[in-house]
Amino acid sequence: MIIKRFEAATAAKAFELVKNALGEDAVILSNKTLDKGTDHQRTEIMAAMDYDVENVTEPLVDQEAGPAKTNAPPAATYNYAAVRKVAKKKQPTSAPRPRLESQELRKNFNRILQEKGGAPQNTGAGATKPSSAAAAKPNQRQIKEWRDKLIGKIKAAPIRFHNQDGPTIIALVGPTGVGKTTSAAKIAAWYHLREGKKVTLLSMDCYRIGATDQLRTYARIMRLPCEVAIRKKDLAQAVARHQNCDLIIIDTAGKSPYDTGHVDELHNWFSNVTDLHPLLVLSATTKKEDLEQIVKSYDQLEPHSLILTKLDETRTYATLCQQVANAQLPVGYLTMGQRVPEDFLVADKPFLESFFKKGWGAVEQKIN
């Protein structure tokens, strides 16, 4: 992470300096007026650009509070009853998503630049260039604040159950090999074996040889109904046949996030089923740019929430944290291994906070 301090006679000039030095993706950490009301009044901006994975997942040293404690408190215990039986109303498709604070800041930043007549020029008279001392070393306290801000934006939202009006219907979508089928089996096991729900599994994955066998095998072990939908109308008909169950889990085929035709096809199939909630599956091992692209590609389906998989295959989660916060989608479930049904957690806010602050240690505390 690069953190820099900028100082200029006016806020607009200080923002120009930030943009020149760090580009449009810079995040404003603080914005202060110095010597307010005097002839020397200036604006000071602390801005950051990207950040270092380790700085975010490792326990950080707070400069004022001293080293972070190593004997962290145990992660919060799950309240299984938290999967409430509240009828869930689908968000209207036109409802705008809440904006992140960083986007607001960037908007203000761009507005100031636009008011000044487009792209920033080289710093003019009155603007103070950041001194070499100003290109300060990353400040741990600021990194911690930034990290906590991001984590604070991440919400938990496991599925909820309808009581009267038919089953809750979810569809697992996402790129190839991220763990959609395995997660479908884990979710089925969780709600069927632990909560006694009536669960049906449906597969839309006819692309890969053996894909439906994988789901069928899990269904057979758990003694759950399992059907395969080969055409769009099969899906709607299968859903209609299982209206008496509590939960229908649809497994879909994985495709490259750059294959937009695939997302269009899913959208087309899903449009035939009322109140279907897509859950986007993201692997913790995916690169930052790819995570960004995946979220963008599947946005058309208006995912209900995220499933974060393969937490066990890495020990650095800052990229994931940043992309989850940017996606503005809550997390429903997490998986951390291949074992069905064991390597699975239902997301809750305290755990997500603890996980993105402490990393793998938080998962170990939770599952052991």
Ligand X SMILES: Nc1nc2c(ncn2[C@@H]2O[C@H](COP(=O)(O)OP(=O)(O)OP(=O)(O)O)[C@@H](O)[C@H]2O)c(=O)[nH]1
- Binding segment toward ligand X, per CB under 6 A, in 16-24, 175-183, 218-226, 263-271: 175-183
303 near ligand X, judged by CB under 6 A: no
Q: Quick check: 338 binds ligand X (CB under 6 A)? A: yes
**Considering only CA atoms, which of 249, 335, 325, 263 is closest in space to residue 294?**
263
Rounded to whole angstroms, the Cα distance separating 272 from 124 reads 59
Taking the least distance from each CB to ligand X, the nearer of 337 and 361 is 337
Rounded CA separation 342/348 (Å): 17
- d(CA 115, CA 80) in angstroms, rounded, equals 53
Pick from 32, 6, 19, 5: nearest CA to 127:
6
Contact pattern for ligand X over residues 237 through 256, marking x by CB under 6 A: ----------------xx--
In the complex, minimum distance from the CB of residue 85 to ligand X, in angstroms, rounded to a whole number:
28
For ligand X, which stretch binds (CB under 6 A), given 50-58, 125-133, 134-142, 179-187?
Answer: 179-187
The reply to whether 262 sits near ligand X by the rule CB under 6 A is no
The distance of closest approach from Cβ of residue 317 to ligand X in the complex, given in angstroms and rounded to an integer, is 13
Minimum CB distance to Mg ion, residue 182 (Å): 8
Distance CA 284, CA 288 (A): 10
Q: Does 319 bind Mg ion (CB under 5 A)?
A: no
Q: E strands along the chain, which residues?
A: 2-8, 27-34, 42-49, 127-128, 168-173, 199-203, 226-228, 247-251, 276-283, 305-309, 331-335, 344-346
Residue number with CB closer to Mg ion (343 or 348)? 343
When CB distances are held under 5 to 8 angstroms depending on the partner's kind, the choice from Mg ion, ligand X, none that residue 268 binds is: none
User: What are the structure tokens assigned to 331, written together?
Assistant: 């997390």
Residue 142 or 316: the one with the smaller Cβ distance to ligand X is 316
Should residue 310 be labelled a site residue for ligand X when binding is judged by CB under 6 A? yes
Is 297 one of the binding residues for ligand X (CB under 6 A)? no
Q: Which of these ranges, 87-95, 203-211, 224-232, 268-276, lies near ligand X under the rule CB under 6 A? A: 203-211
Neighbouring C-alpha atoms within 13 Å toward the C-beta of 234: 12
Give me the least distance between CB of 182 and ligand X, in Å please.
Answer: 3
* Interatomic CA distance for residues 141 and 119, integer angstroms: 32
Residue corresponding to tokens 């950051």? 48
| 208, 220, 231, 287: residue in contact with ligand X (rule CB under 6 A) | 208
Q: How far is the CB of 173 from ligand X (least distance, A)?
A: 9
Q: Is 176 in the site for ligand X (CB under 6 A)?
A: yes
Size of the site for ligand X (CB under 6 A): 21
The percent helix, strand, coil of the chain (3-state, each to 5) is 40, 20, 45
Q: Long-range contacts: 215-219, Cβ < 8 Å, 24+?
A: 215/181, 215/184, 215/185, 215/251, 218/181, 218/184, 218/185, 218/188, 218/189, 218/340, 219/188
181 makes contact with Mg ion (CB under 5 A) = yes
Which one of Mg ion, ligand X, none interacts with residue 168, CB within 5 to 8 A by kind?
A: none
**Of all helices (H) and strands (E), which one includes residue 56?**
helix 53-57
CB 215 within 8 A of CB 238: no
Complex with Mg ion: residue 278 or 359, whichever CB lies closer? 278
Binding region for ligand X (CB under 6 A) out of 49-57, 93-101, 174-182, 263-271: 174-182
Within 8 A by CB and 6+ apart from 15, the residues are 45, 109, 112, 113
Helix, strand, or coil (residue 288): helix
Our CB check for Mg ion shows the closer of 181 and 309 to be 181
Q: Is 211 in the site for ligand X (CB under 6 A)?
A: yes
Residue with Cβ nearer ligand X (200 or 309): 309
- Smallest distance from the beta carbon of 247 to ligand X, in angstroms? 18
* Segment contacting ligand X by CB under 6 A, of 73-81, 85-93, 153-161, 308-316: 308-316
As measured in angstroms, the least distance from the Cβ of 338 to ligand X is 4
By CB under 6 A, name the binding residues for ligand X.
Answer: 176-182, 205, 208, 211, 253-254, 309-310, 312-313, 335-338, 343
